[in-house]
Structures are given as structure tokens and as C-alpha cells.
Amino acid sequence: MGKEERIRLGHGSGGKLTHELIDNLFVKYFSNPELDRQTDAALLRLPKKQLAFTTDAFVVDPIFFPGGDIGKLAVCGTVNDVAVSGANPLYLSAAFIIEEGFPLKDLEDIVKSMASEARSAGVSIVTGDTKVVNKGHCDKVFITTTGIGSLPEEHLHISEGMNTVVGDKIIINGSIGDHGMAIMSARNELKLNAPLLSDCASLNGLISRITSVSSNIRFMRDATRGGLATVVTELCQGKDFGVSVSEENLLVNEGVRGMCELLGFDPMYVANEGKLVLVAASEDADNILKAMHDHEHGKDARIIGEIVAEHPGKAWLNTAVGGNRIIDMLAGEQLPRIC
């Protein structure tokens, strides 16, 4: 890495410094046959005719948080977006916008984290870009990743849930609200100390497991911003079926509960980064749960609701005390309430 300790404008200008950075950092850690060629565009051979193609920008603050960092998130987030469409994630691109003065050590840690996550997800980062902007013109580092996966014909219906029918079960792979509250506690603006870990994880391994035991997966989505509530309301919006969720079946970790009660947040609306919501034929539910329980990211998988004929287009919650009420889409950010 040489004697440089911080990123300078020169690192983004395309000259010697840029090449050094690419060779000694990005290519070094991301290394794979396509990337190593360092062509302007990665040349890829793809197995199937259908592709799933997605992009996401990551601007999380703080960039290092309990359970992960912006780099890990940049890989998981995009891998998951591809995987929930039923596609097999293969290749990622990674574009960095870095603030002048950003510590090189931090960049290296982020890149290492991305490389590690990409390896365990089985994807290659095959192309990328680096820009450096003047101090104050971006917040430390922003990362944009774009992902491609091959989408088998038999999974085409999954993204839109076109085959969903009344009686189908809604399954989630674990607890809700972890990522959002981990970020809140890490920001420490509200002076809360809670041992909360982000659930940030690549879910393609778990998803392969699921699709191998059932060919009746109707719909999948990862519950990110807006939380579980946003997924279930979007799932039935404008459709001729409704969604019924059972609050008793939701798993909320104690630390997340405590912080949500304290701040007046509803865990159903808090962001996750390692949670899969899927809809499947009810006769396959048991096999799916069994397969999920065997996987590290599915140990707490459970059925949380079902597709119903009542209240078409709307999602309702059976509350833990026996009442019921509608689940609506969140408008704007949840802010800590005092009231």
C-alpha cells in the first residue's frame, strides 16, 4: 500500500495512484479470472437465457456497525435482491465513491469484508470503479453494487407472486428488526447501549435449499427498508387475495424489543438485511421449514401468516391479545417518539 494513509483525489483520477489502488487493494482481494484481466468491461458467459439484474447503492451510517459494515452490506444486499427472484447470483460489480481523506485502512477493511462475503456467497466481483470526491462532498464512502444472476424458467413467476393462491403460507427465516435497531444503537445519538447485532447475511444458500425441496414457491422478497410490514402489504396490494399475519408467531429479539418499546418503534417496520419472506403452497410448508432449520440462516424459520380470501388487497394483523387491525405501508421514516 505504500506510505499513503488516506485516500487522495489522485486515487480517483485514473492515473498511477488509481492503478496502484486497484492492483493492491481491489484486485488483490476480489481476485477472479474475469476481474484479473482488468478489461474495461467484464466479459461473461451466462448459462441461461433469463437474467435477474439488480443494482443498489449503499450509504449506511455508521459504516462499521455491530454485525457488519457497508461492504458486507453492499454484497449481501445485491446478492439477496437477485436470489429472491429465484435466480442464482453469479457476478457483481462494485463502484466506490470515496471522500478525500478517507483512511486507507478503513477502505481495506471494507474491501476485505466484501471479498469474504462474496466468497461465502459464491459470487465474483468482476468489475468496478473508483471515484474520489472533495472532502465534504460525500459521507466517507458510498458503494454501489450491481448483480447478475441466471434465472431458471420455472422461477419466472416468483418475483411478482403470480401463482399465489388462498391457503398459501407465509414463512420468514428468523427474527425481525435486528438490522435497523443495531444501526440505531450504533449511531448512539440517543445514548442507548444495547448488545444488538445486524442480521446482515447473504441468503442465496438458504434459498437454494428451499427451492430444492419445493417447486411450489410462489413469492420471495427480502425484508429490507420498511420491514416485514412493507413486504406483506406490497405482496397483496391490488390483488384479489388478502394477507393475514399472526403477531404471536413473530420473533423479536429481546434487545430489539426493548429498544422498540423505549423509542416507540414498531418492529414490523424496522429494516432487516438478512430476512427472507416467502410464500409457498401449504402442503410444502413442513418440508420447507425442515430444510430451513438445517441451514445457519434459517434456524428460527417459522410460519407467520397466510394468504386469505378476506380483505382482498389488504394485510391484517391478528394481534397477540386476540384483536385484529390493518397493517399499513409506512409513510416516511420512523422517528423516535416521546409520545
Partner 1 sequence: MIKYIDEYRDKELVLKIAAEIRRISSRPLRFMEVCGGHTMAIQKFGIPSLLPETIELLSGPGCPVCVTDRKFIDTAIAFSRLEDVIITTYGDLIRVPGSSSTLDEEKGKGRKIRIVYSVLDALEIARENPDSKVIFLGVGFETTTPSSAAGITNATRMGLNNFYLYSSHKVMPPAMTALIDEGVKIDGYIAPGHVSTITGTKIYDDIPEKYGLGCVISGFEPLDLMQSILMLTRQKEREEPKVEIQYKRAVMQEGNIKAQKLVEDVFEPCDDWWRGLGVLPGSGLNLRQEYENMDAAKAIAVEVENTREDRGCICGEILKGLKTPSDCKLFGKACMPGDPVGACMVSNEGACAAWYRYKGT
Partner 2 sequence: MCLSIPAKIDSIDGEMAMVSVGNVTYKASLQLLDDVEVGDYILLHTGFAIQKISEEEAAETLRIFEEFEDLNKQLDDEEKETGERIV
Binding site for partner 1 (CB under 8 A): 189-191, 248, 254, 257-258, 261, 263-264, 266, 314, 317-326, 328, 331-332, 335-339
Provide the minimum distance between the beta carbon of 271 and partner 1 in the complex, in angstroms, as a whole number.
17
CB within 8 Å of 115: residues ≥ 6 apart:
29, 30, 125
* Residue 41 interacts with, from partner 1, partner 2, none (CB under 5-8 Å by kind): none
At 266, list the grid cell. 414498531
Residues 212-251 as x/- pattern, contact with partner 2 by CB under 8 A: ----------------------------------------
In terms of CB distance, is 40 or 189 closer to partner 2? 189
* Residue 259 interacts with, from partner 2, partner 1, none (CB under 5-8 Å by kind): partner 2
In terms of CB distance, is 153 or 254 closer to partner 1? 254
The continuous run of DSSP H or E covering 204 comes out as helix 204-213
* Residue 193 interacts with, from partner 2, partner 1, none (CB under 5-8 Å by kind): partner 2
Q: Which of 192, 251, 303, 308 binds partner 2 (CB under 8 A)?
A: 192
The continuous run of DSSP H or E covering 230 comes out as helix 227-236
Q: Which residue has the cell 430476512?
A: 275
**C-alpha–C-alpha distance, residues 218 and 229, integer Å:** 18
Provide the minimum distance between the beta carbon of 190 and partner 1 in the complex, in angstroms, as a whole number.
5
DSSP string, 88-156: EEEEEEEEEEEETT-BHHHHHHHHHHHHHHHHHHT-EEEEEEEEEE-TTSSSSEEEEEEEEEE--GGGT
Which span (7-15, 113-121, 188-196, 205-213) binds partner 2, by CB under 8 A?
188-196
194 counts as binding partner 2 under rule CB under 8 A: yes
180 contacts 286 by C-beta, under 8 angstroms: no
198 contacts 65 by C-beta, under 8 angstroms: yes
* Residue 255 interacts with, from partner 1, partner 2, none (CB under 5-8 Å by kind): partner 2
